[in-house]
Structures are given as structure tokens and as C-alpha cells.
Amino acid sequence: MDQVFVIVERIVIYSVLISALYALVALGFTMIFGVGRVLNLAHGAFLMVGAYTAWFAQQYLHWNLYSAFALAVALCTLLGVVFYQGLVRHVQRSPIVTLIATLACALIIEELIKIFFTTNTQLLAPFISGSIEIHKTTVITNRIIAFGASWLAILLFWLFVHRARWGKVILATAQDHEGAALVGIDVRRVYTLTWAISGALAGIAGVFFASWVKIDPFMWRDPLIISFAIVVVGGLGSLKGSIVAAYLIGLLEVLMTYSPSIRVCFSFRCFEFLGSSWVGVSSLLVLIAILFIKPEGLFGRTE
């Protein structure tokens, strides 16, 4: 019985920690989707750029992780602005073209990473090394730092959107961009600011995501899938929905890690169901279920 309580405790603690990071990973994606109605399939690549920037600054410029973190956020902010001004604003009216263009850019970034940094796996040094004990569960200290930083970024973003003048302008544009333009709001400027903030959030998330997993040219794919699933499950542009969806998906992924796998064999091959090999599948299963039950998402609006 004690072993069962220990496992339940680990599931709760690990899901709470990873879900906060998932919410941060999806925040910039949610913002772009909510304001500009654009699915930025390069969002995961933005995170990867932030991760590699921090790693490069550590390894080759010999900066400490805090300075490398600031550089990663600044570069991703600039990347967001350039990405919108140089590409997205020209194709924004066509959702299909935008999807293809952003995905193509993500693949280009992946190939550039391969050329300059090879396909070798890299490791980003933690902000604080070591681990601590929470009751009977050992937790890596850096993951607690990631949890705290994720929630700090989410709270600051919420305060900006609901208290700052430009935050309210962004909300007005998200509700009706044509109406916002009619009352004198520079919609293009708002979109540029939105992409800059999304880039900054991607840079923050990228550094912490890299400190959680290993860095390689393919690391952008998981954050993209997670972000897409969270946006659809939570609801179009809903910050509250994104947080709830992030915790739902995070809990399911941790449960998959601890659940026993079921092996089914046929005459020609054996298959495994559930278990750790299904960790990445759980978010997609939730996404499909929500699309059938509530297509607008948990907290989305029917359009």
C-alpha cells in the first residue's frame, strides 16, 4: 500500500511540474492563434532557436546561463518580429498558405541547425544543479525552477493583457480586428507586438524545455504537437483553457509513464498499448476526443 501512495505522489508532483512548462510552451502559440487566427507551425522551431542560442552562448561565448537566457529571449523576440513582417503579414489572409509557409520555415530552421550544429545531441547546463526531496519523491531542482519561472511568466503575461493599455488593445483586436481598425487601432502594429511577445515567450520556454530534455535538431516537433493539442483542447485563444488543457495533457502523459504496457501479439507481429511508449500519443488522443465532443474546446467560443 505504501508503494501505491508513493507512485500516486510521484504522478501528482511530476504532472504538476511538467504541466506548468507545457502551459508556458503553448502560451505564445495560443496568443498568435487567439489574436491573429494564425496557426504558427514554426512555434516549436522558435523554442529550438532559443534552446540552441542559450547552449551556443554557454559553450562558445562562455556566458553564464542567465546571460545566455537573456540572449535567447532577445533573439527569439527579434525572430518573431522578422517572421511576421517578412513573411506572415503577406500571406495571413490565406490560412492554408500560412500553414505551409510556417511549416516550411520550421523545416528550414531544422536544416540550418543540422548544418551548423550537426545532429549530435547537446546538453544545456541547469540553472541550479542537484535535487531535493518532496516527502518521498526526489525532484531535480532545475525542474522546480522551471515550474516557478513558467508560472511567473504566465502571471506576468496575464497582468499585461488585463491591466496594461497595450494588453487591452491586444484583447480588443483579438475579439474583432475589423472593429478595432475602425476605432483607430493600428492592427498591423498590434500583430507585430503579438509576434514579438510570442517570440519572447518561446525563447523563455525553449531554454527551460531544453534544460528538461536533450537538445537536437528534432526537438521542435514535440513542443509543436503539445502546443497544438493544448490550443485545440483549451479553446481558441483562451489562456484559462490553455492552462487547464496543459495540466490535463501533462497528467495523462505522466500516467502513461507509470502505467503498465499491454502487449498484444498476432501471428505476424506484437504490439504494445499504453505504457511509456504512448507518452507522446496521449495528447493527440485527447485532441481527437475533444474535437468529437466539444469542437470549440473546453473554454472556446462557438464560431
| Residues 235-269 pLDDT 10s | 877 788 888 889 988 888 888 777 666 666 666 66
Residue 144: inside a domain: yes
Residue 298 maps to a domain:
no
Question: What is the C-alpha to C-alpha distance for residues 257 and 289, in angstroms, rounded to an integer?
Answer: 21
In a domain, 82, yes or no: yes
Give pLDDT, residue 103. Answer: 93
More confident residue, 294 or 78: 78
Residue of 16, 24, 6, 31 lying closest to 197 (CA atoms): 31
Total structural domains within the chain: 1
- In a domain, residue 197? The reply is yes
Whether 73 is covered by a domain: the verdict is yes
**66 located within any domain:** yes
- Domain range enclosing 183: 2-218
Predicted structure pTM score: 0.89
- What pLDDT digit, counting tens, does each position of 42-54 carry? 999 999 999 999 9
Residue 174, domain member (yes or no): yes
Average pLDDT, the chain: 85
Number of Cβ within 10 Å of residue 127's Cβ equals: 18
Banded pLDDT at 272 (limits 50, 70, 90):
low
R_g of the chain, CA atoms, integer Å: 20
- Residue 210's φ and ψ, nearest 5 degrees, are -70, -30
Residue 276: per-residue pLDDT: 60
- Looking at the domain assignment, is residue 205 inside a domain? yes
- CB-count exposure of residue 120 (10 Å: 0-12, 13-18, 19+): exposed
**CA 63 vs CA 51, 69, 72, 106, 141: distances in Å:** 14, 10, 12, 27, 21
pLDDT at 1: 59
Share of the chain above pLDDT 70, in %: 91
